[in-house]
Structure 1
Amino acid sequence: MPASLRTFRAPVWWHEIAILVILDMIYERLRNLVPDHETAAIDRGLRVLHLTQKLHINFELSLNHFVAAHDEIARLANGYYSFLHLPMTGGVLIWLFFWQRRVYRSARTVLVTTTVLGLCGFYLVPMAPPRLLGAGFVDTLVQFHTFGSWGHASVAAVTNQYAAMPSLHCAWALWCGLTVFNLAKRRIVRYAAMLYPLLTFTVVIGTANHFAIDGVAGAAVLGLAYGIHRTLQGRGAYEPAPLLPEYS
C-alpha cells in the first residue's frame, strides 16, 4: 500500500462503531438466507462427523458427554460460550483503542478481516454444528435452559445456527490471546492470555457447538488475515505504525 496509508492515524470512535454496525448488517443478511441452505448445512455437518469417525479422531462426542453429565461444568461452559465471547473481544479492543493506539488499527483490521472471511464461509459453506446433527450429541445450552441462548425462541430467531465453519468463537479468542500476548508487558498476563483460546476451543467442543476442525479452520482464517495485513502493510499487525514527520 502507499506510504501515506501505512502511517499512524489516530482511531476515531465513531468510525469503529460504524464498522461494527456494517458487520452486523452483513450478518443479519446472511442469517436471513439460512433457510435456503439448511439441508446442505446438515449434510456437510454429517460428512464432517463421518470423516472424524473414519479417522478415529472423534473425541468431540466423548467430551460433550462428559460435560453434559456434570451439571455444574455444563452450566459454566454454557455461560462461558454465551456471555464471554463478545465482552472479552470488546474489552481487548477498548484496551487497544486507549492504551495501544499505534497498533490499534492494524490489530482491529486483522479481526475485521477474519470476521469478513468467516462470514463468507458461513454463506458459501454453511454447516450445521454437532448439536443439530443428533448422532448422540447433547445440546447443553438447550438441556440446561441457559439464559440468553438459542434454547430460548427469541434468541434462536436472531441467530445463525448454521455458522459452524469456521469457528469465529475460536478465531476471535485466538486473536484476543495473541494480541495480549504480543503487547502486554507483564509476563504472567501474556501467558495467561493464551489460556483463553485453549479454554474456548475446549468449551465449544464440549457444548457440541463445533467440531475440532471448525476451530482449526478458525485459526487458519485468522492466520490468513494476519498474512493479508502483512502483505498490504509491509509489517506485522503488532508492530507500531510509522509516524508522519509532524508526529515524530
Structure 2
Amino acid sequence: MYARSEPAQREPDSSARPPLVRELLLVAGLFLVYKLGRQAANGHVEEAFRNAGHVWSFERAVRLPGEGAVQALLLRGDTLVHAANTYYATVHFPATLLFLLWLYRRRPRHYVWSRRILAVLTGAALALHLLFPLAPPRMLDAAALVDTGQVYGPTVYGDTPATDSMANQFAAMPSLHFGWAAMVAVGLIVATRSRWRWLWLLHPAATLLVIVGTANHYWLDAIVVSALLAVAFAALRPPHTARPRVHHPWPAIPVPSAATALARAGGPR
C-alpha cells in the first residue's frame, strides 16, 4: 500500500513581506499626503463652481442618469439616508486599512502590488484635485440636490468650505472614495481563490450609490477614477499566484525477467 500525500497548504511567503516599521511609515505617509494634498487644493471657489457647471452640463449632454434619481431612493426613509451618510463617513479609511493589513499578513506579494496601485492612484487623484477643483453636486444650484450629510447626519464636512479646516470640499474630481473601494475589491479578488470572492464587488457598488446619492460626487467622478485605476493596473501587473503542486507517487511496476517473458510468449521459436 502506498501512502496518499496530502495537498500542500499555501503559506504566506514571508520572504516577500517587507519590514513592518517601514510599511507603517509608508502607509501613514500615504494617508498624510492624501490629507495635506486635499487641504492644499482648498480655495478656488469661483473655478470650482464653474467646473461644476461644466461637469453637470456634460453629463446631461451625454445622457448620463441624473444623480437625483439615486438620491430620491435614499430619501424614501430617514434610516436609509442616515445609513448612507454613515457609510460615507466611516467605511472609506477603515476598509482600506484593514485590506492592507490582511494582505500584509496573508498575501505579502499582493500587498506590495496593492500598496503601489493605491499610491499611484492617490497621487494622480491629488494632481487632478489641484488642476481641476470641483464643487460637489450638493453645492450646485442647478442640480437641486439635498446635502444629506448636513440635513440628516452624520457629516464629515463643515457647514461651509470656508470654515472647513479638515477637508477640501472642492476635491470631488476624481472620487477616491470609489477608487479605493474598487481597489479593495479587485485586490481581494486577485489575491484569493474562494468562489465567493466576487462578492467583494458589492463594496464599490455600494460606495458608488452612496457617493452619488448623498450628492458628494458626480457620476463622472467615479468614471474618471476608474480610468486612472485601469492605467495603474496596466502599468503595474499583479504578482502571479502559483497553485501548489500536489505530488502523486506512482506505484512501482514490476519488470518481468527475460525468462518470464519468454515463458509468457510460449518459449523460444
After TM superposition, the score normalised by the length of structure 2 is: 0.77
* Matched residue type, 1:111: L
| C-alpha contact (below 8 Å) 2:42/2:170 kept by paired residues | no
Q: How far did 1:22 drift? A: 2.7
Q: Report the structure number with the largest CA radius of gyration.
A: 2
1:103-129 Cα distance to aligned partner (Å, 9 max, x none): 221121111111111111111111111
- Aligned 1:218-233 pairs, distance under 5 A: 218-229=225-236
Q: Mark the runs of 5 or more structure 2 residues left unpaired by the alignment.
A: 1-14, 243-269
Instruction: Give the residue type in structure 2 aligned to 1:162.
Output: F
TM alignment of 1:60-99, pairs within 5 A: 60-99=67-106
Distance 1:104 1:114 in 2: 15
Match of 1:165 among 159, 173, 184: 173
CA distance in 1, matches of 2:33, 2:139: 24
Paired residue type of 1:218: V
- CA offsets per residue over residues 119-159 of structure 1, 9 Å max, x none? 1111111111111213311110111131x521568x93211
2:203 to 192, 196, 215: 196
1:33 equivalent to 2:45? Answer no
Is 2:191 the counterpart of 1:183? yes
- Provide the aligned length of Structure 1 versus Structure 2: 226
- What is the rounded CA distance, in whole Å, between the counterparts of 2:60 and 2:133 in structure 1? 21
For the residue of structure 2 that corresponds to 1:187, the secondary structure is coil
| 1:45 aligns with one of 34, 41, 52 | 52
Question: Which of 57, 63, 66 is 1:56 aligned to?
Answer: 63
Query: C-alpha deviations, 1:74-115, integer Å up to 9, x for none?
Result: 001001111011111111111100000122211211111111
> In the alignment, residue 29 of structure 2 is paired with which amino acid?
I
The match for 2:134 is 127
Share of identical aligned residues, percent? Answer: 29
- Report if aligned partners of 1:63, 1:206 keep a CA contact under 8 Å in 2: yes
TM-score, scaled to structure 1: 0.83
Aligned to 2:146: 138
How many angstroms apart in 1 are the aligned matches of 2:55 and 2:159?
Answer: 27
Aligned partner of 1:103 among 107, 110, 113: 110
Deviates more, 1:51-60 or 1:97-106: 51-60
Higher helix share: 1
Q: Secondary structure of the equivalent of 2:198?
A: helix
Partner of 1:245: none
Q: How far apart, in 1, do the equivalents of 2:193 and 2:78 lie?
A: 38
Q: State the alpha-carbon separation in 2 of the partners of residues 152 and 217 from structure 1.
A: 27
CA contact (8 A) 1:150 1:156 kept: yes
In 1, the alpha carbon distance for the partners of 2:158 and 2:47 equals 23
Q: 1:151 to 1:71 in 2, by over 3 A?
A: farther
1:208 is aligned, of 212, 215, 235, to: 215
2:21 to 8, 11, 14: 14
The answer to whether the 8 A contact 1:103-1:239 is kept is no
Counterpart amino acid of 1:223?
Answer: A
